[in-house]
Structure 1
Amino acid sequence: MSAVHPVADLYTEHHRWLLGWLRRKLGCHDQAADLAQDTFVSILTAGNAGEIREARPFLATVANRLVAHRYRRQLLENAYLEALAALPEALAPSPEDRLQALQVLQQLDQALDGLPPAVRQAFLLAHLEGASYAEIGERLGVSTSSVKQYLTRANRQCFFAIAA
C-alpha cells in the first residue's frame, strides 16, 4: 500500500474480495455492496488504514462488526414496530414521531455499543426489565455500588449521545 492513499489502495486491492465474502455471508448482493462500502468508510473515518498489516482479516473483522450492528438495529426496529402494532390506533404515534423514536433508539444502541458488556447489561436490566440495583448486582455478580457506577456511566453515555 502506498503511504499517500492507503484507503484507496486497500479498496482497489480488496473490494472485490470483500464484496464476494459479504455476498456469500449475507446471500444478498445489495446488502453486501452496502456493507462493503460501509466497511471502507469506517476505515477511512478511523484514519488507521496505513497501519493495517493483514488486510483481509482486518476487513472481515470490520465488516462482521457492521453486520452485527445492522442486525441489532433491525431487531431493535422490529421490536419497536411490534410494540406500536399492539397499541390501539388512537394511541399510535404519527409517522414523524415513529421515525424520531427509531432514530433515538439507534443513537442509544450506538452509545451502548461503546460500553463494556457489564455496563451495557446493567443499563438494559434497569431500563428494560425494571430490575433493582440489588437484582442487577446479583445477576452480574457485582456489588450494588458497582451497579450504581455502571448505570451512571451508561446513562451519561446515552445522554451525551442523544444531546449531541
Structure 2
Amino acid sequence: MPGVNPVEALYLDHHAWLRGWINRRLDNRSEAADLAHDAFVSVIKAGQAADIREPRPFLATIAQRLLAHRHRRHVLEAAYLEALAALPEALAPSPEERLLALEALQQIDRALDGLPAPVREAFLLAQFEGLTYDQIAQRLQVSASSVKQYLTRANRQCLFALPA
C-alpha cells in the first residue's frame, strides 16, 4: 500500500486474523483483542516491521509467547493465592500487600524469562523452598558449582530488571 508505513500495513492486513487466531485459543474476545494489541506493540518496539517476510507465522510466534506469559502469570497468581489461603487469618496480608507481592512475583517472573530452565528452577528452589546449593544440585542432577553459577546468573538478571 503506497503511503502506508510498514507497521500500519501489517496491522491493517493481519490484525483481524491475529485476534481471531488468539481468540480460538482463549475463547475470550476481550483478552484476545488485548493480546493482539500487545503483539503489535511488540512489533512497534522492535522497529523491524519492514523486515518481516512471513507476517502470520511471525505474529503467531509473538502471540504464542504472550499466551505463555499470560498462562505463567495465572499459574503464579493461583499459587500465591493458594499459599495465602493456607495462612491463618491473623497473618494474612492486606489487599494492598497482596497486590504488591503479586506485582513483585510477576516482576521476578519477567526478569527470569529467557533464562535457561535449570537457572530459573535453581533460583526458585533457593528463594521459595530455601534449599541449599547441595540440595538444589541433587534435585537438578548437576554439581554444586553449577548451582552457584545458575544462582549468580539469576540474581544478576533480577538485579538488572529492578526499576531505576
Q: TM-score when scaled to structure 1? A: 0.91
Q: Find the counterpart in structure 2 of residue 25 from structure 1.
A: 25
**What SS is found at the alignment partner of 1:151?**
helix
AA at the equivalent of 2:56 = R
Whole-angstrom CA distance in 1 between matches of 2:14 and 2:2:
14
Cα deviation for residue 3 of structure 1 reads 9.4
Q: What's the CA shift string for 1:105-151, capped at 9, x where partnerless? A: 01000001121222112112222333322232234343221210110
AA at the equivalent of 1:53 = R
Q: Find the counterpart in structure 1 of residue 144 from structure 2.
A: 144
Q: Find the counterpart in structure 2 of residue 60 from structure 1.
A: 60
**What SS is found at the alignment partner of 2:162?**
helix
Whole-angstrom CA distance in 1 between matches of 2:154 and 2:163:
14
Question: Structure 2: which 5+ residue stretches go unaligned?
Answer: none
Q: What's the CA shift string for 1:65-113, capped at 9, x where partnerless? A: 0001011001111111121122222211111111111111010000011
Alignment of 1:116-131 (within 5 A): 116-131=116-131
Q: Find the counterpart in structure 1 of residue 92 from structure 2.
A: 92
Cα separation, partners in 2 of 1:2 and 1:54, compared to 1, 3 Å: farther
Cα deviation for residue 2 of structure 1 reads 7.1
Cα deviation for residue 159 of structure 1 reads 2.5
**What SS is found at the alignment partner of 2:135?**
helix
Q: TM-score when scaled to structure 2? A: 0.91
Out of 58-67 and 153-162, give the one that drifted further: 153-162
Count matched residues: 164
Contact 1:120 1:154 in 2 (8 A): yes
**What SS is found at the alignment partner of 1:110?**
helix
Q: Percent identity?
A: 66
Question: Structure 1: which 5+ residue stretches go unaligned?
Answer: none
Whole-angstrom CA distance in 2 between matches of 1:159 and 1:148:
16
Q: Find the counterpart in structure 1 of residue 135 from structure 2.
A: 135
Q: Find the counterpart in structure 1 of residue 10 from structure 2.
A: 10
CA RMSD of aligned residues (A): 1.9
Out of 56-65 and 125-134, give the one that drifted further: 125-134
AA at the equivalent of 1:111 = A
Cα separation, partners in 2 of 1:91 and 1:141, compared to 1, 3 Å: closer
AA at the equivalent of 2:89 = E
Contact 1:35 1:63 in 2 (8 A): yes
Alignment of 1:91-110 (within 5 A): 91-110=91-110
Whole-angstrom CA distance in 2 between matches of 1:2 and 1:161:
41
